[in-house]
Every structure is written in C-alpha cells, then in structure tokens.
C-alpha cells in the first residue's frame, strides 16, 4: 500500500509499505477519505507532535472494515467506520472519567503510531465508530473536526441571546459557525481572507470583518481558532465584561498578554483539547441527520500521491481552500 510519511520539516514522502495485519481486538480498515488537519500542518511546518521519524501521518479518516482480528465483537468486514484517533494512557484519573482528551499523555495516531494517510491502517476496535446508515464516506471524514467544533461550542456555554465572535474562518472556525448558528442571536466572523469570509456569510454569519474591530466590548463569547498573538489580543478586546473566551487554535509560539485585560473585565477563559468520545458520536449524528451540512467545506479531494501538493496548498494559505481530503483509492 502507499503511505504518506513524515521525514522532517516540509519533507513528506510517498512510500510503498506492507499492508498491516490485525492482531487480537484489532481491525484492519481500508481508508476511503483522510482529511488534512491544522495539526498536520503544525507537524509539516514546525515538526510538532511527531515522536518517531519516519511516521505515517494523518488522524482524520473514514473507511471500510477489511478484516478483523480474534476477539473483535463490534465490527465485521464491510462496515463503514470512522476513527477515534486519540491515543491516551487509559488509566489516569481523567481517562477513567472519559476525558481522554486531557490525559497528560494524550497523543494521536499519525504522531505516536502510524496514521491514516495510507491505503490501510490497523486500530484497536475501541478506536472505531460505526457510521450511521446512509452517511457517505466523504462527509464522514469531517466527523472528527466537527467533534472539535462541538466541543468548543459546548465550552462557550452559548445561549440564544448571545452574540458570538469567531476568529479564524478555517475548518474549525467554519465548523463552529455551523454548530453555533442555531444556538445564538448574532455571529461575527473575523478572518484576513475575503474568500473565507464569503464562505462564512454563505454559512450564516451575520457580520464578517477582515480586521478585529478596534471597538472593545462587542460580544458575549469568542472562539479563537487561529492561535497567534494578534488574535488572542483581539479576542480579549472584543469581549464584553464577563465574557467567555474559548481557545481552540493551537499556538506555535508563546504570546505576551497583559493579564489586566482579563481581570478588569472578569473574563472566563477555557482551553479545549480535541473532543470527548460523546462529541464524536454527536458529530456523526449531526452530519447523518442533515442538521450540519459539511459539504461546502470539502474544497478538494486529491489522490494520496498528491499529499505534498495538498500540504503546499494549505500552508500557502490558499484562501478558497478549507478542507482537503486525500483519497487512497487504488493505492
Ligand atoms: Zn484533526
Ligand atoms: Zn490518561
């Protein structure tokens, strides 16, 4: 099978590897679609997260069960599935409460073990979810990033009279817009790229802006989905007194914040890390039922062999591209 392997910063290679085989409790999945995530770009640009080199990248995927190992009870060949790509210790107090996303040892497939940018991958059966009937495999590949958006929106504690600011109209920002749209009164989306703001408008934003408005105290909650100094400072300014800030964008660099901006307005700040299992299940239901239509966010589907091109498109901030899916069909 073909696999996209990370060798170092801006160095990914397509290689032919033996197809993995499943051991006890494991499932072999033929990958149908695999999404490139912001965290894959952090790996590509900065070498973050990856613990061994080379490694097969990727953690967002849908696929079809090809084979099951001894003792597998929940899956059989032909089942359509998506992955829960989190790798946690399973024994710390947080894992035992179902909050594997804040396990101190949390990692992901594609970082600590082989990921899904490949023809096939093997996972323990507890890392897979069966798809609701009728849900197409391409839309299903967005279940994982939608779970992040559901988790972020839940943390923001949104209510119907709220105004919400979303900073960053990338996949997480736009998916959060889709999730939050029915929950709040007004949504402002801020992004530098006009093409992404057009998309935000089409998906239901009431107001869009290329710059963070210099008028302080406008919104009840902000979801910050970029992760740089200017967007954090802007978020603190944008919030009303007593407002809630959810940090959903990963920072590549440290930032300098004046804490008075937080204490004077008694702001509440929440970090979110990935999602809980329930968020994945809710995301699958939300897409399958049509409650959330992720189709406009799938900008391109490229063959696995074009992974390097896809990474270059995404790191060059191509403004009209939101999510690229890699398809290993035939690889
Ligand atoms: Zn992801
Ligand atoms: Zn743990």
Tens digits of per-residue pLDDT, 121-143? 999 999 999 999 999 999 999 99
Cα–ligand 2 centroid distance for 89 (angstroms): 4
- d(C-alpha 312, C-alpha 41), whole Å: 9
Could you report the per-residue pLDDT of 93-123, keeping only the tens digit for each?
A: 999 998 999 999 999 999 999 999 999 999 9
Could you report the per-residue pLDDT of 31-42, keeping only the tens digit for each?
A: 999 999 988 998
The domains of the chain, with CATH numbers, are 2-142+294-327 (3.90.180.10), 147-271 (3.40.50.720)
Peptide bond into 54 cis (omega under 30): yes
Mean pLDDT of the chain: 94
How many residues are there in the chain?
Answer: 331
In angstroms, how far is CA 83 from the centroid of its own chain? 13
- Are residues 311 and 44 in contact, defined by beta-carbon separation less than 8 angstroms? yes
- Are residues 140 and 287 in contact, defined by beta-carbon separation less than 8 angstroms? yes
DSSP state of 206: S
Q: Provide mean pLDDT across the span 168-174.
A: 95
Cα–ligand 2 centroid distance for 84 (angstroms): 15
Confidence tier at 47 by pLDDT (50, 70, 90):
confident
Cα–ligand 2 centroid distance for 279 (angstroms): 18
Q: Which of 245, 29, 9 is nearest to 124 (CA)?
A: 29
Cα–ligand 2 centroid distance for 59 (angstroms): 19
DSSP state of 132: P
Q: Which ligand number lies closest to the CA of residue 89?
A: 2
Judged against a pLDDT cut of 60, whether residue 330 lies above it is answered with no
Place of tokens 């740089």: 228
Judged against a pLDDT cut of 90, whether residue 13 lies above it is answered with yes
Cα–ligand 1 centroid distance for 72 (angstroms): 26
Phi then psi for 125, rounded to 5 degrees?
A: -65, -25
Residue 331's pLDDT is what?
56
Q: Which ligand number lies closest to the CA of residue 323?
A: 1
Helix (H) or strand (E) holding 321: none
Q: Which ligand number lies closest to the CA of residue 171?
A: 1
- d(C-alpha 121, C-alpha 304), whole Å: 14
Cα–ligand 2 centroid distance for 88 (angstroms): 5
Residue 215's pLDDT is what?
67
Q: Provide mean pLDDT across the span 177-205.
A: 96
Residue 317's pLDDT is what?
73
- d(C-alpha 34, C-alpha 110), whole Å: 11
Residue 51's pLDDT is what?
82
Is residue 22 helix, strand or coil? coil
Confidence tier at 288 by pLDDT (50, 70, 90):
very high
Q: Which ligand number lies closest to the CA of residue 88?
A: 2
> Burial level of 5, CB count in 10 A (0-12/13-18/19+)?
buried
Bridge partners for 165 per DSSP: 188, 222
% of the chain exceeding 90 in pLDDT: 89
Cα–ligand 2 centroid distance for 123 (angstroms): 18
Place of tokens 């897409």: 287
Cα–ligand 1 centroid distance for 245 (angstroms): 21
Is residue 275 helix, strand or coil? coil
- d(C-alpha 81, C-alpha 309), whole Å: 27
pTM to 2 decimals? 0.94
Helix, strand and coil content of the chain, in percent to the nearest 5, comes to 30, 30, 40
Tokens of 149: 């958006």
> Burial level of 113, CB count in 10 A (0-12/13-18/19+)?
middle
Q: Provide mean pLDDT across the span 16-30.
A: 97
Cα–ligand 1 centroid distance for 110 (angstroms): 10
């Amino acid at each position: 099978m073909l696999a996209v392997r990370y060798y170092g910063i801006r160095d990914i290679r397509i290689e032919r590897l033996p197809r993995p085989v499943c051991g006890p409790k494991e499932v072999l999945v033929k990958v149908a679609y695999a999404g490139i995530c912001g965290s894959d770009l952090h790996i590509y640009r900065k070498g973050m997260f990856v613990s061994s080199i080379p490694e097969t990248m990727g953690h967002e995927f849908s696929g079809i069960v090809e084979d099951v190992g001894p003792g597998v009870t929940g899956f059989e060949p032909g089942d359509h599935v998506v992955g829960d790509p989190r790798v946690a210790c399973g024994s710390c107090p947080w894992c035992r409460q179902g909050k594997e996303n804040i396990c101190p040892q949390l990692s992901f497939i594609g970082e600590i073990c082989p990921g899904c940018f490949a023809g096939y991958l093997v996972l323990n059966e507890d890392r897979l979810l069966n798809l609701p009937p009728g849900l197409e495999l391409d839309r299903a590949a967005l279940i994982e990033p939608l779970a992040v958006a559901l988790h972020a929106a839940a943390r923001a504690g949104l209510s119907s009279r709220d105004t919400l600011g979303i900073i960053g109209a990338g996949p997480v920002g736009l998916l959060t817009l889709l999730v939050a749209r029915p929950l709040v009164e007004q949504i402002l989306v801020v992004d530098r790229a006009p093409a992404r703001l057009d998309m935000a408008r089409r998906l239901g934003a009431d107001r869009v802006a290329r710059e963070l408005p210099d008028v302080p105290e406008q919104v009840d909650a902000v979801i910050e989905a970029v992760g740089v100094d200017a967007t954090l400072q802007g978020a603190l300014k944008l919030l009303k007194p007593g407002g809630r800030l959810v940090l959903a964008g990963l920072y590549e660099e440290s930032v300098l914040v004046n804490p008075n901006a937080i204490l004077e307005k008694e702001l509440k700040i929440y970090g979110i890390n990935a999602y809980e299992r329930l968020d994945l299940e809710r995301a699958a239901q939300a897409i399958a039922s049509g409650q959330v239509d992720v189709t406009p966010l799938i900008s391109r589907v490229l063959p696995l062999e074009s992974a390097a091109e896809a990474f270059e498109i995404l790191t060059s901030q191509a403004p009209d591209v939101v999510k690229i899916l890699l398809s290993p069909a035939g690889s």
